Amino acid sequence: MSTNLADPTRLATPPTFQAVSLARRIKNGFATTLVWGAFLVAIIPLVWVLYTVVQRGFPVILDGDWWQKSLSGLLARQQGGGAYHAIYGTLVQGLVCGIISVPIGIMIAIYLVEYGGRSKLSKATTFMVDILTGVPSIVAALFVYTVWITYFGFGRSAFAVSLALVLLMVPVVVRTTEEMLKIVPDELREASYALGIPKWKTIVKIVIPTALSGILTGIMLALARVMGETAPVLVLASYAPFINYNLFDGPMASLPLMMTNERNNPTPAGFERIWGAAITLVLIITLFNLLATVISRALAPKTK
Amino acid sequence: MAKRLDIKDLNLFYGKFHAVENVSLAVPPKNVTAFIGPSGCGKSTVLRSLNRMHEVAPGARVEGKVLLDGEDIYASTVDPVEVRRTIGMVFQRPNPFPTMSIRDNVVAGLKLAGMKNKRELDEVAERSLRGANLWNEVKDRLDRPGGGLSGGQQQRLCIARAIAVQPDVLLMDEPCSALDPISTLAIEDLITELKKEYTIVIVTHNMQQAARVSDQTAFFNLLGVGQPGQLIEVDDTEKIFSNPGQKATEDYISGRFG
């Protein structure tokens, strides 16, 4: 040992540590390229879509009339008018759907996580929810048409649209709520029981508040999904170029349906309306997501 | 306030697995009883059966009696929620409610039971935090989240939360195992304080801790893998650590096992 003391930089044995080998550097470079490549493949179309929508749609929505007027009484080639009728339709159909779906979805998730355990009913429910998740919107629309309109004899209306959207939204709400409730640690439930707090109160006052920010994000994503649906509105309400405030009767537009409808309009006016409706829908959904983020932040468990 | 616990012929099961066999022991009031023994011997399971937390696990089952001042907590007419309100519990890992402030954490039990008077709640919060030796450290930030405290402070917050509902008995499941020595000392001092008012049962892996804080020690052991845990002996702490009646106890506390 004493010989080493003379020159601490000189090693008595071959070095233990070596530079990164060529093989590892090649593998690393390959993996890095793959990851970056996948990132670009995903991001380029996204940015492209967003750019196109903004570039073509933005000038249209700058007009104040866009937000206040419908297309009532306008010929296809006539410029002007607005999307108020479709904005109203999208919002009210989505909102009614949300009001029905959120409590149902949350209660199903509470049953699955807190009460169902591994029971047969719980397994069957999970299975059904999984199947519903994969149901195409046109199937949901035709199902509601069969039951609500053909069997029960109600007319075509925005409410029927909302019912079809409920079928699409409930499974998403159930899935996200279930995941959020599952990650609430059991220690919190036990701490609550140990204070003599009954189970239902533990769920309402401890478990749900802890998971609330995640649940809200899930609800907003589900809402964004159903507000982009065309088929249910086409089948169950059909397009109206005028404003229809009546939820239970008559045709009512929505932004996606307005776009579908204007695709048959080959004039510049039609072109403008399609892109205007597109950017309006994107804006509404962005706004909802921002709102969800703000509320989630405010409600999320804090440590500071 | 403080009441006595009598455990009679207690057998505990998880589904078909017989976890603990034939435990009988008495816990006198205003007294600290320590449960010691190797991992998996069922001491935590016994503790959890004392306020009916054992049955929260799916498939868990209890046979035998647990008497609180002579009243069987497993009688068919007894509401488990009431039992847990009377027999409080502090867990191994500090678990303050993450969505609540320090004050709300302390009074959670009362608030969720319907107490609304803010002045009264504030008084309870202060009294409980003082009781848990935490008041001076948090009195200026009662509205801040409980999750922002250090581990030791969080554990004392959980103790404050448990004593805020004024239980007759306090159960502690390895309350110091996640804490550093200084926080552990703070909790041990607190246990000695709390003993004046509460009946305390504590599970611990730390034999010095059992020797320091408890008046009575119960030694649990496991005869073999898959066999139920058993209560080997229970006696005054001093006697258990100086002159135990059973060879197994002596081997365990002197570090000769296996």
Structure confidence by residue, pLDDT tens digits, B178-206? 888 888 888 899 899 889 989 999 999 88
Query: Which H helix or E strand runs over B24?
Result: strand B17-27
Q: Is A188 on the interface with B (CB under 8 A)?
A: yes
* pLDDT band per the 50, 70, 90 thresholds, residue A304: low
Q: Contact B84/A196, CB-based, under 8 Å?
A: yes
Residue A4 predicted with pLDDT over 60 = no
Q: Is A213 on the interface with B (CB under 8 A)?
A: no
Q: Which of A75-79, A164-168, A262-266, A274-278 has the least mean pLDDT?
A: A75-79
Counting the structural domains of chain A, the total is: 2
Give pLDDT, residue A297: 85
- To the nearest whole Å, the CA of B19 is away from the closest chain A CA by 20
Q: Do A235 and A196 share a structural domain?
A: yes
Question: Which CATH number does the domain housing residue A228 bear?
Answer: 1.10.3720.10
Q: Do A223 and A164 share a structural domain?
A: yes
Residue among B99, B113, B144 minimizing CB distance to A210: B99
Structure confidence by residue, pLDDT tens digits, A93-140? 999 999 999 999 999 999 999 998 888 999 999 999 999 999 999 999
* pLDDT band per the 50, 70, 90 thresholds, residue A19: confident
Comparing A10 with B120, the larger pLDDT belongs to B120
Give pLDDT, residue A223: 92
Give pLDDT, residue A120: 93
Q: Do A49 and A167 share a structural domain?
A: no
SS3 call for B14: strand
ipTM, 2 decimals?
A: 0.89
Please choose, from the candidates A183, A172, A188, A239, the residue with its C-alpha nearest in 3D space to the C-alpha of residue A212.
A183
Tokens linked to B102 = 């320090």
- Quote the CA–CA distance of B28 and B216 in Å, as a whole number: 9
Say if A39 falls within a structural domain: yes
Residue among A187, A195, A301 minimizing CB distance to B161: A195
Give pLDDT, residue B257: 61
Say if A8 falls within a structural domain: no
Sign, CA torsion A95/A99/A101/A107: positive
CATH of the domain spanning B5-99+168-253: 3.40.50.300
Give pLDDT, residue A127: 94
Say if A194 falls within a structural domain: yes
- Quote the CA–CA distance of A87 and A90 in Å, as a whole number: 5
Give pLDDT, residue A295: 86
Give pLDDT, residue A103: 96
Q: Contact B148/A193, CB-based, under 8 Å?
A: no
Tokens linked to A156 = 């075509």
Exposure string over A220-234, b if 16+ CB within 10 A, otherwise e: bbbbbbbbbbbbbbb
Residue among B91, B112, B147 minimizing CB distance to A187: B91
Say if A76 falls within a structural domain: no
What predicted TM-score, i.e. pTM, was given to this entire model? 0.85
Structure confidence by residue, pLDDT tens digits, A140-175? 999 999 999 999 999 899 999 999 999 999 999 999
Whose tokens are 């949350």? That residue is A106
Structural contact between residues A236 and A156, judged by C-beta atoms closer than 8 angstroms: yes
Q: Do A272 and A149 share a structural domain?
A: yes
Say if A31 falls within a structural domain: yes
Q: Is A76 on the interface with B (CB under 8 A)?
A: no
Angle between helices B151-164 and B102-112 in degrees, nearest 10: 30
Q: Do A92 and A40 share a structural domain?
A: no
Residue among B53, B98, B145 minimizing CB distance to A193: B53
Strand pairing category for B17-27 and B71-72: unpaired
Structure confidence by residue, pLDDT tens digits, A182-191? 999 999 999 9
Say if A3 falls within a structural domain: no
CA–CA distance from A284 to each of A19, A91, A287, B253 (Å)?
A: 54, 9, 5, 68
Which chain A residue's Cα is nearest to B146? A303
Q: Contact A196/B86, CB-based, under 8 Å?
A: yes
* pLDDT band per the 50, 70, 90 thresholds, residue A6: low
Say if A242 falls within a structural domain: yes
| Sheet arrangement for strand B60-68 | B71-72, B60-68, B5-14, B17-27, B229-236, B216-222, B32-36, B199-203, B169-173, B87-90
Residue A77 predicted with pLDDT over 90 = no
Q: Is A200 on the interface with B (CB under 8 A)?
A: no
Q: Is A10 on the interface with B (CB under 8 A)?
A: no
Structural contact between residues B174 and B44, judged by C-beta atoms closer than 8 angstroms: yes
Q: Do A257 and A126 share a structural domain?
A: yes
- To the nearest whole Å, the CA of B254 is away from the closest chain A CA by 33
Chains A and B form CB pairs within 8 A to the count of: 84
- Quote the CA–CA distance of B205 and B214 in Å, as a whole number: 13
Q: Do A227 and A106 share a structural domain?
A: yes
**Contacts of residue B89 in chain A, CB cutoff 8 Å?**
190, 194
Say if A15 falls within a structural domain: no
Q: Contact B97/A210, CB-based, under 8 Å?
A: yes
Structure confidence by residue, pLDDT tens digits, A40-70? 999 999 999 999 999 999 998 998 889 998 8
Q: Contact A194/B99, CB-based, under 8 Å?
A: no
Q: Do A120 and A255 share a structural domain?
A: yes
Residue among B56, B85, B95 minimizing CB distance to A196: B85
Q: Do A166 and A89 share a structural domain?
A: yes
Residues of chain B whose beta carbon is less than 8 angstroms from a beta carbon of chain A are: 51, 53, 56, 58, 81-86, 88-89, 91, 93, 95, 97-99, 108-109, 112-113, 144-145, 147-148, 158, 161-162, 165
Please give the residue range of the domain that contains residue A26. Answer: 22-62
Mutate to test the interface with B, among A186, A195, A199 (most CBs of B within 10 A): A195
User: How large is the average pLDDT for residues A8-24?
Assistant: 81
Query: Which H helix or E strand runs over B238?
Result: helix B237-242
- To the nearest whole Å, the CA of A187 is away from the closest chain B CA by 6
Q: Do A170 and A128 share a structural domain?
A: yes
Angle between helices B151-164 and B118-131 in degrees, nearest 10: 130
Q: Is A195 on the interface with B (CB under 8 A)?
A: yes
> Which residues of chain B fall below pLDDT 70?
1, 257-258
- To the nearest whole Å, the CA of A179 is away from the closest chain B CA by 18
Residue among A188, A196, A212 minimizing CB distance to B113: A196
Give pLDDT, residue A57: 92
Q: Do A173 and A56 share a structural domain?
A: no
Which residue stretches of chain A are H helix?
2-6, 22-61, 64-68, 84-110, 120-133, 137-144, 158-182, 186-194, 199-202, 208-227, 231-236, 255-262, 268-299
Q: Do A126 and A33 share a structural domain?
A: no
Give pLDDT, residue A303: 65
